[in-house]
C-alpha cells in the first residue's frame, strides 16, 4: 500500500484551514477591536468621574478656588492618564449655587455649593461601518463650599 492511498482525505483538505481562517479572521478582528474600544470607554468613564471629583474637591476648599475656573480645570486633568487632551476636550463647567432647602434644615442654614461638570468626547481608535460610536461621557459632582 502506498502513502497516497493510505490517507485519501489528506490530499483533498490541504487548503481547508487557510480558507476557514480567512472566513473567521474579520469576526475575530472585530471582536478584538470591540473589546479594546469597550475597555478604553470604561477607562475614560472612570477618568472623567475621578476628574470631576478632584475638581469639585479643589473648588469646594475655598470660595476663591470656586471662582478660578482655570485652576479647577487643572485639578480635573491633573491625573488624566493616557487619554488625549486638548483645549476644549474635556470641557469643564463650574457652577456655584445655594443649597436647596431639603438638605439644609432651613434657608438660614443653607450653604453655597459648587458643581463641577466634566464632558469628554472619546475618539475611537478605528471606525468600523455599522458599529456605533461612543457617546460623549458626562458626569458632575456637587459639594458644599467650606466656610
How do residues 67-76 score in pLDDT, each as one tens digit?
A: 899 999 999 9
Return the pLDDT at 138: 94
Cβ burial of 135 (10 Å; 0-12, 13-18, 19+) is: exposed
Q: Which of 48, 109, 117 is nearest to 83 (CA)?
A: 48
Enter the pTM of the model: 0.76
How far is residue 131's CA from residue 5's CA, in Å, rounded to a whole number? 50
For the chain, counts of helices (H) and of strands (E):
5, 3
Predicted local confidence at residue 70, as pLDDT: 93
User: Is the N-terminal amide bond of 78 cis, ω within 30° of 0?
Assistant: no
Per-residue model confidence as pLDDT tens digits over 86-139 = 888 899 999 998 876 666 666 666 678 899 999 999 988 877 777 777 889 999
pLDDT digits (tens, 9 = 90+) for 28-67: 988 888 888 889 889 999 999 999 999 999 999 988 888 8
Amino acid at each position: 500500500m502506498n502513502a497516497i492511498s493510505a490517507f485519501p482525505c489528506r490530499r483533498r483538505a490541504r487548503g481547508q484551514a487557510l480558507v476557514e481562517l480567512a472566513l473567521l479572521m474579520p469576526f475575530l478582528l472585530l471582536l478584538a477591536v470591540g473589546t479594546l474600544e469597550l475597555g478604553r470607554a470604561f477607562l475614560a468613564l472612570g477618568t472623567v468621574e475621578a476628574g470631576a471629583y478632584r475638581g469639585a474637591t479643589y473648588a469646594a476648599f475655598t470660595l476663591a478656588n470656586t471662582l478660578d475656573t482655570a485652576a479647577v480645570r487643572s485639578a480635573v486633568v491633573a491625573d488624566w492618564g493616557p487619554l488625549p487632551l486638548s483645549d476644549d476636550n474635556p470641557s469643564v463647567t463650574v457652577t456655584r449655587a445655594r443649597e436647596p432647602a431639603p438638605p439644609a434644615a432651613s434657608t438660614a442654614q443653607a450653604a453655597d455649593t459648587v458643581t463641577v461638570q466634566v464632558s469628554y468626547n472619546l475618539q475611537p481608535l478605528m471606525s468600523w461601518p455599522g458599529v456605533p460610536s461612543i457617546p460623549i461621557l458626562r458626569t458632575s459632582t456637587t459639594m458644599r463650599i467650606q466656610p
